[in-house]
Amino acid sequence: MVKVVKVRGKSMAPTLAPGDYLIVTKARAIRSGFVILVNHPKFGVIVKRVTSVSNRLIELEGDGPESTASDALGEVALANVIGRVRLAITPTGLKKL
Amino acid sequence: MLHSLISKFDSNIDMADAHCDIPCGIYDARIVTYYAVSALRQIDILLSLNEKGLSETGFAMQVARNTAKKEEMAEKCKHEARIIWGDFMKPKNQEDMAKCHDAAHAIMLAGSAVKQDLHREDGEKLVAAANAFAEIFWASKGVKTKKVKTPYAPNIEVVEPDL
């Protein structure tokens, strides 16, 4: 599965900027540090970085200082992960993640 | 180049939110009318200061304080209207869209007029614009409204949800 999505919001700055396009693929495993696309039960489809994985649950946070706090994001089930962001298509070029 | 090429297909591409704040989903037009009424109240206070027999210094201080508050209330009224207008209002058709935009724009104009000068009619216009905006807001949520007089000065009619 390959999916293309567009970033809305600044919480992943400076890694990702609003308007960047992301190439997302299905991930066999999720590890800390991965940037993922996840269907959050409260916030909908969001892009965040994984900070920890345990017991089929993951914790997330944004790279930017203005990101929604990770305690507000809460833990999300691994089953909600849509995929891993592999590539960002930015106005200035490609960025591998 | 690739970015601009993909952007041509924007309408078919899903969004991925990178939230910067927490959407609470709480929108209420009463806060817009609240600040409009507060701005009008500050105008009334300013217009009545001459009758209070204040010393020159006291008068100057009171004018400064109430003018600052008048401008703050008018700006907050505009701010809250902008949030509801920009984040909540999603008119279903062109006619509703025009009404919604006109009501919000009327608040921007009246709010600026309240800040710029000292005329009671500007304050009344701001309250009227806030009321019109509130009616559109509550109608969009399917909530009936009623007009009630504020039980405090300036005792002006405001639109309230009939909950």
| CATH number reported for the structural domain that contains residue A46 in this entry | 2.10.109.10
Alpha helices in chain B (DSSP H): 2-7, 30-48, 56-83, 94-116, 120-140
Residue B19's pLDDT band (cuts 50, 70, 90) = low
Residue B1's pLDDT band (cuts 50, 70, 90) = confident
Q: Give Cα separations from A80 to B20, B98, B139 (angstroms).
A: 21, 40, 36
| Closest among B125, B131, B139 to B95, alpha carbons compared | B139
| Closest among B126, B112, B131 to B71, alpha carbons compared | B112
Where exactly are the structural domains of chain B?
Answer: 28-158
**What is the mean predicted confidence (pLDDT) over A41-54?**
88
Residue B6, pLDDT score:
87
- A7: β partners: B16
Contact B18 A62 (CB under 8 A): yes
Number of structural domains (chain A) is 1
| Closest among B157, B118, B121, B162 to B33, alpha carbons compared | B157
Which positions ≥6 away from A51 have C-beta within 8 Å? A32, A59, A60, A61, A70
Write out the two tokens for B90.
């999603």
Q: Are A83 and A37 in contact (CB under 8 A)?
A: yes
B16 closest CB neighbour out of A5, A67, A91: A5
Residue A80's pLDDT band (cuts 50, 70, 90) = very high
Residue B89, pLDDT score:
81
Residue A71's pLDDT band (cuts 50, 70, 90) = low
Contact B4 A91 (CB under 8 A): yes
Residue A72's pLDDT band (cuts 50, 70, 90) = low
Contact A6 B20 (CB under 8 A): no
Assign a CATH topology to domain B28-158.
Four Helix Bundle (Hemerythrin (Met), subunit A) (1.20.120)
| Closest among B33, B22, B27 to B143, alpha carbons compared | B27
A47 closest CB neighbour out of B3, B10, B18: B18
Contact B18 A22 (CB under 8 A): no
Q: Give Cα separations from B122 to A41, B74, B134, B160 (angstroms).
A: 46, 11, 18, 21
B15 closest CB neighbour out of A8, A10, A48: A8
Beta strands in chain A (DSSP E): 2-8, 21-25, 35-40, 44-54, 57-61, 75-77, 81-90, 93-96
Chain B residue closest to A82 (CA)? B16
Range of the domain at A54: 2-96
Contact A9 B2 (CB under 8 A): no
Query: DSSP assignment, residue A68?
Result: P
**What is the mean predicted confidence (pLDDT) over B119-141?**
95
Q: Are B111 and B122 in contact (CB under 8 A)?
A: no
ipTM of predicted complex:
0.82
Model confidence pLDDT, tens digit, residues B47-97: 999 999 999 999 999 999 999 999 999 999 999 999 888 878 877 767 777
